[in-house]
Amino acid sequence: MSGDLQRAFGRNLRAIREARGYSQEAFAADVLCIHRTLAGAIERGERNLTLTTIERIAERAGVDPLDLLRSNGAI
């Protein structure tokens, strides 16, 4: 149970990136405006993000923050 939301967020963010045809580096730099190593850690579920960061990433990716947290991969 611990870390489930982090992993779901990362899986969903990766699914969005891949569906749009971005490399991790390009998506991090051009869309999310973060460093690629941070994007990789987020996608792997290794980062414990604040709600503010979740909102910011969702806004930049053009998705609802709740969609990024869904564990069923319904993006």
pTM of the model: 0.90
Q: What is the set of domains in the chain, with CATH numbers?
A: 4-68 (1.10.260.40)
Per-residue pLDDT of the chain (75 residues; tens, 9 = 90+): 578 999 999 999 999 999 999 999 999 999 999 999 999 999 999 999 999 999 999 999 999 999 999 987 555
> For the chain, how long is the longest CA-to-CA vector?
33
Residues 3 and 45: beta-carbon distance below 8 Å: yes
What is d(CA 18, CA 52) in angstroms, rounded to the nearest whole number?
24
Distances (CA, A) of 46 to 21, 38, 42, 53, 62: 23, 9, 6, 14, 23
Integer-rounded Cα radius of gyration of the chain: 11
What is d(CA 50, CA 72) in angstroms, rounded to the nearest whole number?
21
